[in-house]
Amino acid sequence: MNITNIVVKSSLNVDLNMRYIMMHIKDAKYDPSKFSAICWKHRSIQSSCLLFRNGKILLQGAKTYQQARLRMRRYARIIQRLGYNVALSAIEIVTITGLSDIGFPVDLNVMCSALPNASYEPELFNAMVYKKDNVSYSVFSSGKIVVAGVRHMSLINDVMEVLLELSLTI
């Protein structure tokens, strides 16, 4: 399975003045009437983040945990340079998204009837959706499978077992 996105969260352990931050950073959007966080995509960090008033920070766009950790630290350093006393707390994985390919086309109607908790409505979405243990699998007729909702890197092996089960039900 190729990991395509890791979403992580952390806290800067400081309250933030959103308007002050918006005056001093580029490539960010903030409209408190629509959403209470700063949506910030720094051009050189290559990940985007949501920055909340209470100091919580949510980062997406990394492909490994180490990459996410480094990018989170870079965002925290920029906030620190604005005069805030930042103390980045433990970085936790929120969700992991991955892509896998079983290598051959799939008949989604047959697969959907063979699996409990699976749904396939081609008028709404062109993939079969299968949920197991809070992990969602979107299976496409081409054989590609998108996995979303994995919370720990150690569960990747469990996900691979489910993918093998899916391919054997065909």
pLDDT in tens, 122-131: 899 999 998 8
User: 2 versus 50: which is more confidently predicted?
Assistant: 50
pLDDT digits (tens, 9 = 90+) for 87-104: 999 899 999 999 988 888
Confidence at 113, pLDDT banded by 50, 70, 90: confident
Helices (H), 82-121: 108-114
- Burial letters for 16-36: b for 16+ Cβ neighbours within 10 Å, e otherwise? bebeebeeebeebebeeeeee
Mean pLDDT across the chain, nearest whole number? Answer: 89
Angle at 145 between CA 142 and CA 148, to 5 degrees: 155
User: Over 70: is that where the pLDDT of 56 sits?
Assistant: yes
State which amino acid sits at residue 125. F
> pLDDT tens digits for 148-168?
998 887 776 676 677 667 666
Q: Can you give the pLDDT at residue 105?
A: 86
Stated as kind and residue range, the H or E segment containing 135 is strand 135-140
Under 8 Å between Cβ of 9 and 90:
no
pLDDT > 70? residue 51: yes
Q: Are 156 and 150 in contact (CB under 8 A)?
A: yes
132: confidence class by pLDDT, cuts 50, 70, 90: confident
Phi and psi (nearest 5°) for 56? Answer: -75, 145
CA nearest 111: which of 123, 103, 99, 119? 119
119-158 exposure pattern, b = at least 16 Cβ within 10 A, e = fewer: ebeeeeeebbbbebeebebbbbbeeebbbebbeeeeeeee
**Predicted local confidence at residue 106, as pLDDT:** 82
Q: Any bridge partners for residue 9, and if so which? A: 58, 92
pTM of the model: 0.84
69-81 pLDDT, tens digit per residue, is 999 999 999 999 9
